[in-house]
Amino acid sequence: MQLVVARIGRAHGIKGEVTVEVRTDEPELRLGPGAVLATDPASAGPLTIETGRVHSGRLLLRFTGVHDRTGAEALRNTLLIADVDPAERPEDEDEYYDHELIDLDVVTEDGTEVGRITEISHLPTQDLFVVERPDGTEVYVPFVSEIVTEIDLDEQRAVIDPPPGLIDDRAEIASARDADTEGDADAEDAGDEA
């Protein structure tokens, strides 16, 4: 099975290094020197990692045969793909590979069907489940423990506890003005009783 583990960014310096957007929780395993990675587009690879280092919080890689800025810049936006044993699991029990989550049924804690995960969107701050609802519309569910309360791979489902408005249009909007209006109404009612 193949997993996207990084996307090549811009060239760094003049000696062929590139920045990479890491898309794996195990970069030391997947992106270490000597790793041979397939690419998308396939015409750019396969690429063998020659060196890697962290600079200003970013991972920089240099590939065998790429030793100048022009060669590095030609790789920009290329996806790096690792071959992974399908039975392999991430080290942390609370981590999942995308392929394990795709097609899971999404239900609320009370068992209400929400839809099916069709995609995982990896954003800088968090990951999102793209959930296709039975009517064909999509809803985005942040993959955070406060909302996604359980992943059950055996039952092929993700259980969520969505805040109001996430999966329906019945969001509760509270404002100070509403509270003041209710307080004024209560005062008027008290005055009527006196």
Question: Span 87-110, mean pLDDT?
Answer: 79
User: Which residues neighbour 75 within 8 Å (Cβ) at sequence distance 6 or greater?
Assistant: 8, 18, 44, 47, 63, 66
Question: Span 69-97, mean pLDDT?
Answer: 80
| Burial environment of residue 3 by CB neighbours within 10 A (0 to 12, 13 to 18, 19 or more) | middle
Q: How far apart are CA 159 and CA 113, in angstroms?
A: 10
Under 8 Å between Cβ of 119 and 139: no
Q: For residue 183, what pLDDT band results from cuts at 50, 70 and 90?
A: low
Domains and CATH numbers, the chain: 2-83 (2.40.30.60), 98-160 (2.30.30.240)
12-33 burial, b at 16+ Cβ within 10 Å, e below that, comes to: beeebbbbbebbbebbeebbee
Give the pLDDT confidence of 14-62 residue by residue, as tens digits. Answer: 999 999 988 776 777 788 899 899 998 988 889 999 999 988 888 899 9
Percent of the chain with pLDDT strictly greater than 90: 40
pLDDT of 170 reads 53
pLDDT of 63 reads 93
pLDDT of 50 reads 93
Where is average pLDDT lowest: 72-76, 107-111, 188-192?
Answer: 188-192
pTM over 0.75: no
Give the pLDDT confidence of 122-149 residue by residue, as tens digits. Answer: 777 788 899 999 998 899 999 998 999 9
Give the pLDDT confidence of 158-180 residue by residue, as tens digits. Answer: 999 998 888 875 545 555 555 55
Residue 70: pLDDT over 90: yes
pLDDT of 146 reads 92
Q: Which of 188, 191, 128 is nearest to 158 (CA)?
A: 128
Q: Which of 36, 24, 40, 30 is nearest to 65 (CA)?
A: 36
* Residue at token pair 């991430």: 90
pLDDT of 89 reads 67
Give the pLDDT confidence of 144-156 residue by residue, as tens digits. Answer: 989 999 999 889 9
Q: For residue 82, what pLDDT band results from cuts at 50, 70 and 90?
A: confident
3-state SS of the chain is: CEEEEEEEEEEECCCCEEEEEECCCCHHHHCCCCCEEEEECHHHCCEEEEEEEEECCEEEEEECCCCCHHHHHHCCCCEEEEECCCCCCCCCCCCCCHHHHCCCEEEECCCCEEEEEEEEEECCCCEEEEEECCCCCEEEEECCCCCEEEEECCCCEEEECCCCCCCCCCCCCCCHHHHHHHHHHHHHHHHHHC
pLDDT of 101 reads 86
